[in-house]
A and B are shown apart, each in its own frame.
Chain A
């Protein structure tokens, strides 16, 4: 009668047994759901949405998002790459709206902005989601999740934002930690509300965005920190999931629009630390963004999915710093490692240390009306 008896199964019995086993196995997920073992978390109270203007309808109730170069085509109820956009009944809605998961008061140096009102504090906001999926993301807990599934999210509209700025006596509204591109609509709304009242708006972004929404974004901000993550298409594809070209085009556009720009390059050992790549990046930088645009080299720490990679060696950062200087870039910094001489701002003409920093703190600022206190050289930036 079976495997464990000396009487063998006949063909019919064998097929029967196989079918029974098949039914049992295929009903397992259902059984698990019935037993309450497979459940998805949801925070319905955090669902805030608005229509995405940068989109177009397609056939069969599909819709295409036109915000970033992924140009996601979404079926009904489908979410975009960035976790924030969803096709609801043939229309594209963003769920990154009024629901920041981070509300923080930070030094502006944390962006990092070294040439923009040094020593100021920002009200920094971030909503869950990101269109890139960097393997080393420092804020993976927020950036790689849907905004409406984050427990720490809170409701915050424009009036509440303004009152927070007033209450904490802050002059700068910043969007950092996660990707501002995916909360474009919210940034524009807040910016239109707070900028006329004298507040500045700055963003820290990977700038993976299409030309038209970029124009709208730049119109809404005063300063931009761009994470130029590497200088090869291969790196972008492998580590971020995106491509390099739109980022470079975007950087040129930021410069053309005359927005305050600083660029950060996180040096990841064995990925983007080749000297020839850094050299090429610096040459492109000088040619397209100018020698006066500040460039930061940041140190990699084992993070998110790249836990098994060593920290960036000090020597690598110092070599990159020297190469950038040799290429003619005037303001080059090393971040995420202090106290180091390359944390400070020096006069490009007389080499006097003008702003001394330790970590996120300004120890000394000897700039006088944006000029070197020793030789009078004008230092580019927003100083008051």
Chain B
């Protein structure tokens, strides 16, 4: 029995390594393929599909469990760091010119082909431990499911809260390897145990070289991005990766954040910095206190104006450290100016907590709203928060590229954000200076007025001349921008970008698609055109399938309705998780640790639900029906959380609600797993298949919600559509005649 108990570690490590691989791979995808929710949604769907395939195939294939386990673990663990490296250098295989972004479709193909085998093995491992368990007669299949969930939970929490702060990806891979080989040493016997022991030692040895390997791999990655860049410094933080690179034969130092070019050092780029600072400051007649959300590099030029205080907010504390390390001269001195206050905080939270009527200018240099995390700085709710902290006559300025004569994609994205600004502010202007301004007072952008303001402040900049206002606020270009917006506004529907309906994300993604490649055009066309009616048609189709099966087929095995129920529950679990993540991203932003906590809560629920179902001995269709009815009730809960949060402004209460909802959703999924398994007589083969069908349902949920509906239709439509699908699936499951 002691030996058997030691095998618990094996079941635990299957979940542990699967979660570790997921965290590492998705972080790499984020860094290498300009990760956004859409690409994550697609990749995650493919991930789940491979996982389900691995579990299904290995439930059918006859193998010697211990040998298979040993082999699968070894292959998986050897491939994990290789996969990390291959993802990093995959840009060099795309044959894309340096400087060009990887199109979504290509990114998904590369990611899937590299990650697919790894995920397939993760799925196969689950089926293999079930078989191993059957052979060794250690514990019931549900317990393995629970231990697997606990492994997932432990890895998620450990990596999100502890390891991601201190360890690089190679170190993390090797730690996962160590844990798994250790569990093999504990569980196996004979030659395999000895081999596992030596592999464990080898892993410990590799851990010593992990930092060097990481450095070599990162250098290779930047060579893949552009072979002529020299990597000078790199830093990982929970918010992403900051790299400092240098072009050949140049003093210019460039910052890349998450693999994307961000800015060049102002010492070598003083003209651009000066233009950014002085165009911004002249939008207000007499600014005294300003708030900068991002773009610390312009502070030295801003300080040339007679200001009382400049508050700056940067999300990532590591970024400020990198600035201080690499900036020199007046840029470095500017950061220490007594008028400057450097704050590391989430910009949205900072604005929410700032006193009312505090600033003359609030300038946001947030990245394009390509992700939910950046979109939260472009929503109506955020704009209302900004308005509150502006003084009378204060100006909110957004850094947003709008070009004269812009065509559909760019104008649609801009219109969406302008329409949203108009809901909050009385006056808005999009200017050729790549700035969009909003205020309750009229915004003057005539070059003469701006030049007069600049001159009246006696500003002396070596890199700016007030005559430049003629160029950057060129009246002819302004006229053309206004005309483009007017013409498009007539045709475009008034789309408002809100936390719960992040329409600007898809509009920005479409713009990004044009910028990266035409290959993705059809994909975006399909995505943009999917409406709830299509989901309703799908639901009716499912119902018809159920009716046809009922009428035509005399005998259909009971397993069909059970599997459909499990599929439904998988769909629910994933849809609910994605909606919860949207709420988290919209309110708290890029807080990876909280994503880890939510994922942990779901896994905790999963284990708890299965355990309770095991204890209560749920083994008939009745509890299954109740659980499914519970799922269609829970699917509506996310709708209420955001409005409640905006009403009460209690962040902690909102976070607790999300954690509770994740736990409950996980609980339902776990309980359905156990109940379905009990109805199917608890065989390991059924355990694998139920697991696979659950994943297939999750795949469907990920496609419907993550890839299609959430970004285009918002949380309410999404919940209603998922409700329709779930209801159709449930009716379908109960329409089917049940003959065991």
Contacts and interface: CB of A to CB of B under 8 A. Distances in A.
Q: Do A and B come from one complex?
A: yes
Nearest to A151: B408
B249 to A, nearest CB: 7
Contacts of B405: 101-102, 104, 126, 139, 141-142, 152, 177
B480 A338 contact: no
Interface in B512-548: 514-517, 522, 525-526, 529-530, 534, 537
B467 interface: yes
B98 A309 contact: yes
A339 B410 CA distance: 30
For chain A, give the interface size range.
35 or more
A315 B251 contact: yes
A43 B576 CA distance: 42
Size category, B interface: 35 or more
A359 B474 CA distance: 11
A338 B471 contact: yes
Nearest to A5: B557
A269 B247 contact: yes
Interface in A122-170: 126, 135, 139-142, 145, 150-152
B198 interface: no
B526 A32 contact: yes
Given A36-B529, A38-B522, A338-B465, A361 B271 contact: no
Contact of B529 (A38, A101, A275, A363): A38
A305 interface: yes
B100 A306 contact: yes
Contacts of A14: none
B407 interface: yes
B407 A152 contact: yes
B403 A141 contact: yes
B463 interface: yes
Interface string B671-710: 0000000000000000001000100000000000000000
B312 to A, nearest CB: 23
B113 interface: no
B560 A104 contact: no
Given A142-B407, A270-B98, A309 B529 contact: no
Q: Which of B272, B407, B484, B516 has the most CB of A within 10 A?
A: B407
B99 interface: yes
Nearest to A105: B476
Q: Which of B99, B229, B516, B522 has the most CB of A within 10 A?
A: B99
A288 B406 CA distance: 38
Interface stretch (B129-137, B181-189, B261-269, B326-334): B261-269
A232 B532 CA distance: 53
Contact of B264 (A32, A35, A310): A310
Contact of B407 (A141, A269, A363): A141
A37 interface: yes
Contacts of B393: none
B39 to A, nearest CB: 16
Given A101-B405, A308-B99, A339-B465, A359 B472 contact: yes
A218 B562 CA distance: 77
Contacts of B97: 135, 238-239, 305-306
A311 B269 contact: yes
Given A38-B526, A104-B404, A309 B271 contact: no
Nearest to B98: A270
A106 B476 contact: yes
A338 B271 contact: yes
A61 interface: no
A313 B407 contact: no
B503 to A, nearest CB: 18
A150 B488 CA distance: 12
A306 B270 CA distance: 22
A358 B467 CA distance: 6
Contacts of B563: 4
B338 interface: no
A28 to B, nearest CB: 10
A270 B487 contact: no
Q: Residue among A35, A126, A141 with the most chain B CB within 10 A?
A: A141
Contacts of A145: 407
Given A141-B403, A308-B261, A313 B268 contact: yes
A142 B484 CA distance: 13
Nearest to B564: A4
A337 interface: yes
Interface in A308-340: 308-311, 313-316, 337-340
B247 A308 contact: no
Interface of A: 1, 3-5, 32, 35-39, 41, 101-102, 104-106, 126, 135, 139-142, 145, 150-152, 177, 238-239, 269-271, 275, 302, 304-311, 313-316, 337-340, 358-361, 363
Which A-B residue pairs are the 3 nearest by beta carbons?
A359-B471, A309-B99, A313-B252
Interface of B: 56, 97-101, 225-226, 228-229, 247-252, 254, 259-261, 264, 268-272, 403-410, 463-465, 467-468, 470-472, 474, 476-477, 480, 484, 487-488, 491, 514-517, 522, 525-526, 529-530, 534, 537, 556-557, 559-560, 563, 689, 693
25 contacts: A5-B559, A32-B526, A37-B526, A38-B526, A41-B408, A104-B405, A135-B97, A141-B409, A152-B405, A152-B487, A270-B247, A308-B259, A309-B98, A309-B99, A310-B247, A311-B269, A313-B247, A314-B252, A315-B250, A316-B247, A359-B465, A359-B471, A359-B472, A360-B471, A360-B474
